[in-house]
Amino acid sequence: DGGITQSPKYLFRKEGQNVTLSCEQNLNHDAMYWYRQDPGQGLRLIYYSQIVNDFQKGDIAEGYSVSREKKESFPLTVTSAQKNPTAFYLCASSIQRAGTGELFFGEGSRLTVL
Site for another protein, rule CB under 8 A = 4, 6, 31, 33, 40-45, 48, 50, 56, 90, 92, 94, 96, 100-108
In the complex, what is the shortest distance from the CB of residue 90 to another protein, in angstroms, rounded to a whole number? 5
Please, which residue, 61 or 79, has the CB nearer to another protein?
A: 61
Confirm if 67 and 53 have CB atoms less than 8 A apart: no
Within 10 Å of residue 105's Cβ, how many Cβ atoms? 15
Least separation in angstroms between residue 1's CB and another protein is 15
Residues 6+ apart with CB under 8 A from 11: 19, 21, 109, 110, 111, 112
| C-beta separation of 50 from 35 below 8 A | no
Q: Which amino acid is at 54?
A: D
Q: Which is nearer to another protein, 30 or 67 (CB)?
A: 30
Name the residue nearer to another protein (CB basis): 76 or 92. Answer: 92
Shortest Cβ 15–another protein spacing (Å): 25
